[in-house]
Amino acid sequence: MPAHEPRLWTIDTPNTSYVVAVDEHDRLRGLHWGPRLSPEQALALLDLPESPFRPVIGREPRFDLGAASSFQYGHNGLQVRFSDGTRDLELAFTEAIEGDGDLTFVFTDRHYPLEVRTRYRSHPGSDVIERTLALRNTGTEPIEVVRADSASWVVPGLDTPRLSQLHGEWGAETQLTRTTIPYGETVIGSRRGVTSHQANPWVAIDDGEATETSGPVWSTALAWSGTWRITVEKGPTGSVVVSAGFGHDPIAIRLGGGETLETPIAAGLHTEGGFASAAGAWHEYALAHVLPHPEEVRPVLYNSWEATEFDFTAEDQMRLAERAAAMGCELFVMDDGWFGARVNDRAGLGDWTPNPDRFPDGLGPLIKHVHGCGMRFGIWVEPEMVNPDSDLYRAHPDWVYHQPHRRRSEVRQQLVLNLARPDVADYIHARLDELLSRNEIDFVKWDMNRPFTEAGWPGSDDPDRLWFDHTRNLYAILDRLRADHPNLRIESCSSGGGRVDFGILRRTDQVWTSDNTDAVDRIAIQDGFAQVYPARVMGAWVTDSPNPLTRREVPLDFRFHVAMAGVLAVGGDLRIWSDEDQARGAELVADYKRIRPAVQLGRRRPLRAGAVTGVQYDRGDQTVVLVWRRSRAFAYPDPLLKLQGLDLDARYRDERTGRVHHGAILAAHGLELGLDPADYASAMIELTRLP
Ligand code: GLA
C-alpha cells in the first residue's frame, strides 16, 4: 500500500484497488473502487473532475468517511452530539498508519476531545476489503454517538445503477430482488434486535446490465447480528455511496470519557464477471477469513423437530436416532421440548435442566445411545429467552427488556432476556457451560425466536446501550463457550434464517436457513442465500411430503437434490417413512457424502436451461451438478444444460453413465440431462476431469 503525494493511498487486493485521498479540508474522499491500478495510474485519478483538488462547483463530493459538518447535506455515516449541544464535526487529519494489509486513518476533532480512526484491511488471496470505525472520547464529558457507520463505500459513476438486496419474512428468507436505485436515500435494515428475516445486511450495486456471468459488481456486507442499517444514496448526478453500520434510528450510544467505540466489520468487494463471480468471492472469503473451522465439512444431521415437535419421550428420540443412523446421518439433534416444564411453547423456556418426566436419569442415556449409534449428539437451546411461566422468570421478572408503565408484549408466549446486563449474561453463560460440561454434547442449535419489544432497561443511565451490548454479550458468550469446549459446533437459528450474517458466522459453524423446508420454496431461498453465504453453512433438511408448512407434495429425490445443494440434513418423521423411502434416503445420503467436499468447499455456479435450474459446484477434478425442474410446458423436451468454468481442453467422465464428454462441448452445447419427463424431476450428476 504505497503512499503518494499528495495525500493519496491505495488499498490493493489481488484484482482490485481502492484509492482514497485526504483533501485540502482534511476530508477522506473515495476516488476509485475497481480494477487494480498501478501507483502511476492511481495518481492519474487526481486529474479527473472527481479529484479533490479540482473542485467542481455544484457537484457534491463523495466521502469515505462522511462526518456531519457544514455543507454536507447528504448522508453522513458519522454523527455525534457533544455535551454542549454541538453537532458539527471538524476533523483534522492526524496520520495514516500502514501495516501489512492494513491502513488506518486517524482524525481528531479540532476542538472537542474525539479521535476517529477508520481502518481498511485486506487479506491475501481475497478481494474483500474489511473496514471498521473506532471512536475514542479523549475527554471526560460523555459524547452522544448518533450514528457510527463502519464504512461508506464510494461506487464509481454508473449510468443506471441497480441495487440487489435480500428481503423476506419468516418462512421466506433471503428473497433476491434487483431494482433501479432511485435518487435520494434508500435504507434497508433491522430494528428488531436481531439481523432479521426482513432484510439481510448485504447489498450489491451494478450498472443495471450485469448478468450471472458478466459485468462489474460492487457489494458490501455488515458483520453484525443486532440492529443495523445500510443506506444507499444516489446523488443528483447519479453517483452512489453505500454506508453500512450497526444501530438504528433513533437510538444513540453514549460514549463516556476515556471510552472507545469499535464498530463491526463492513466488508466490501468489487468483482468482474457478474453476480456468480461476486458470490463466489464472498464464499471464498467466508471460508478463508470468517468461519471458525473452514477446513471441516459439516456432517449430515438429523433434527427431530418436525417429527415430534413437543410431544416425545427419551425412547422416541432413541428410535428416531436409530433410523437416522441407518440412513447415514452423522449427527442427531434433539430440538425443543427436552427441558424444564417445556411440553409446549407456553412454559419452561429459561430453565435449562432436563425435564424429569422425560429424562428421569438426565440426558446421559440418550446421549450414550446416540453415540452408540455412531452419531454425534446435538441439542436445541434458546438462551436469550424466557417464558413468563418459568422458574427463571418467577425468580427474576426484572431480567427481561421492559419499560415502566408499559405492557410486556409476548411473542410465542416468551419475553427477551436483557442480555446486555452483565449479571444476566453471566448467568446464561454459566447455565450453558454447566449443560455442556455435564453432558457429552457435540453440537448446539442456538435459537432466537422473537424480536425485541418494549426494549427498555429501567435503572440504567444509558438504556439504548442494550441494542449493542445484547449482541456483544451474545458474541462473548459464544466465544467463551467455544474456547472452553473446543469440540463444540454451533448452529445459528432465529425462527429459521433470522440471524444469518458474517458476525454470527465468525463464531458458529452453520445456520438454519429457514423453517420453510418445502423443496420448491427452498430453491429461491437458497439462491438468495448463496449471493453472499457459502453452501458450507446453509442447513437444508429433507422433510415429509406433503410439506407440513405448504402442504405441497414433492418426490423424495427432488427434496433430497435441493437439500444436497447445501449442508444436507434430514428432518422428517422417519417413523412414518416407508421402507422404500428409507432405503432410497440412505442411497442419497451416501451420494451426498461423495459430493460433499465440492458442494461445501467448492465454487458455486448457478445454471439454467429452459425450465430446468440448478447449481454446479467445482472443486479440484470434481464437478457436481444438481438440477431440478418443477414442470415442463407443452411437453417440450428439456434443453441441454451448458456447464460453466470447465477446462475446455479437458475431458470429463459422467460417473452415472461412464460416458466421457469434452469440456468444450459441455460448455458450448451442454449436457443431456435425461430427466424424468414428469413434474418434479431432478438429478445429481458427478463429473470427473480426466488426466
Ligand atoms: C424455531 C426454529 C425451529 C424449531 C423451533 C422449536 O421455530 O426455527 O427449527 O427449533 O423453534 O421451538
Going by the annotation, the residues of the binding site for substrate are 170, 335-336, 412, 445-449, 493, 515
**CA nearest ligand 1 atom 2, residue:** 495
Going by the annotation, the residues of the binding site are 170, 335-336, 412, 445-449, 493, 515
pLDDT of 123 reads 97
pLDDT of 56 reads 59
**CA nearest ligand 1 atom 1, residue:** 495
**CA 680/CA 214 separation, integer angstroms:** 30
pLDDT of 5 reads 65
**pLDDT < 70 stretches in the chain:** 1-5, 55-59
Q: State whether residue 29 is helix, strand or coil.
A: strand
pLDDT of 1 reads 42
Long-range contacts of 110-119 (CB under 8 A, 24+ apart): 112/82, 112/86, 112/139, 112/143, 113/137, 113/138, 113/139, 113/140, 113/141, 114/80, 114/82, 114/89, 114/138, 114/139, 114/143, 116/65, 116/67, 116/78, 116/91, 118/28, 118/64, 118/65, 118/151
Ligand 1 centre and the CA of 447: distance in Å?
Answer: 7
- Name the residue of 195, 335, 443, 490 whose CB sits within 8 Å of the most ligand 1 atoms, as the mutation to test its pocket: 335
Ligand 1 centre and the CA of 353: distance in Å?
Answer: 19
Out of 12, 442, 447, 518, the active site residue is 447
**CA 66/CA 77 separation, integer angstroms:** 5
Question: And the C-alpha cell for 102?
Answer: 492494513
Region at 522 (left for phi over 0; alpha for psi -120 to 50; beta for the rest): alpha
Question: And the C-alpha cell for 132?
Answer: 471498521
**CA nearest ligand 1 atom 8, residue:** 495
Contact 522, 563 (CB under 8 A): yes
Backbone angles phi, psi at 160, to 5 degrees: -130, 75
Question: Is residue 447 flagged as an active site residue?
Answer: yes
Contact 87, 68 (CB under 8 A): yes
For the chain, the C-alpha Rg in angstroms (whole number) is: 26
**CA 531/CA 210 separation, integer angstroms:** 14
Question: Rounded to two decimals, what is the model's pTM?
Answer: 0.97
Give per-residue pLDDT as tens, 580-631.
999 999 999 999 999 999 999 999 999 999 999 999 999 999 999 999 999 9
Ligand 1 centre and the CA of 197: distance in Å?
Answer: 14
Neighbouring CB atoms inside 10 A of 301's CB total: 26
Residue ranges lining ligand 1, Cβ < 6 Å: 305, 335-336, 380, 447, 449, 493, 495-496, 512, 515
The secondary structure element, H or E, covering residue 561 is helix 556-563
- DSSP symbols for 46-75: GGSTT-TTSPPTTPPP-BSS-B--TT--S-
Q: Closest ligand 1 atom, CA of 412? A: 12
Region at 168 (left for phi over 0; alpha for psi -120 to 50; beta for the rest): left
**CA 168/CA 202 separation, integer angstroms:** 13
Question: Is residue 26 flagged as an active site residue?
Answer: no
Contact 269, 232 (CB under 8 A): no
Sheet containing 8-12: order of strands: 3-4, 8-12, 16-22, 28-35
**CA nearest ligand 1 atom 11, residue:** 495
**CA 135/CA 152 separation, integer angstroms:** 16
Ligand 1 centre and the CA of 411: distance in Å?
Answer: 13
**CA nearest ligand 1 atom 3, residue:** 495
Ligand 1 centre and the CA of 359: distance in Å?
Answer: 21
The angle at the Cα of 470, spanning 464 to 473, to the nearest 5 degrees, equals 135
Give per-residue pLDDT as tens, 521-535.
999 999 999 999 999
Neighbouring CB atoms inside 10 A of 83's CB total: 13
